[in-house]
Structure 1
């Protein structure tokens, strides 16, 4: 198969180059067709979802309120505790039957590192029921 070149003097040989312009035109037409028809192809299944109302989670007596403020100070049921007291109280709480839930309330500006340390210490002491308390009335 011969390819055309500038230095050959024979003009009778066939030119073996592919003309790309018609291929590009077809591709652009197909692209426009797919862009127009793609939104029409979304099939949504119509189902009747159950209705539910969410209510505030009532606090049971067998839980521990653990608050962490922006300064990384930890409060056990409203009482300020240090790291050693926190470890002792977590160990005592894990020995209770039934084991209480640990509800962590952290301020919005509390460093995540402190929250992770408290959760790690609670897990290390044997507490398995840990939850976060949020305020659903305020959206950021």
Structure 2
């Protein structure tokens, strides 16, 4: 037995292409980590807030119910009201709390123009939160 050299073969040529499979694997793992941790980062700051006995926290916005009946008359909180008095009441409410909600209940036979006029009065008074109340139709 002789110890000689193994037959030699030519050296491999250098690779000129990038193998993207490991890169894609790493990027997908990072994406999953980011998706899982992003919602947790929004409340990462811990605060010790001062105590107060003066104000109420999170007061609910005030709401008015405005009804337009079939004859086109306005009722604010079930009281008949004129256009000038309605504008005055809505302006006062908007000055007290600009987030006051107006629940508009209009009869189905009221012309669309009267509903638009009512919305215009509310917006002119400074109320921008207007909700339309309707009945749910049973199937």
**Structure 1 stretches (4+) deviating beyond 6 angstroms?**
none
Q: For residues 78-131 of structure 1, what are the alpha-carbon distances to aligned partners after superposition, in whole Å with 9 as ceiling and x for unaligned?
A: 000011101101101111226310000001101111111010011111101001
Unpaired runs of 5+ residues, structure 2, are: 1-59
Aligned residue-pair number: 80
Matched, 1:89 2:89: yes
Question: Structure 1 length as normaliser, TM-score?
Answer: 0.53
Contact preservation (8 Å) 2:61, 2:101: no
Question: Structure 2 length as normaliser, TM-score?
Answer: 0.53
Unpaired runs of 5+ residues, structure 1, are: 1-59
Partner of 1:32 in structure 2?
none
Q: What does residue range 1-140 of structure 1 map to in structure 2 within 5 Å?
A: 62-97=62-97, 99-137=99-137
The 1:138/1:110 distance shift into structure 2, 3 A limit, reads farther
State the alpha-carbon separation in 2 of the partners of residues 127 and 138 from structure 1: 32
State the alpha-carbon separation in 2 of the partners of residues 131 and 97 from structure 1: 17
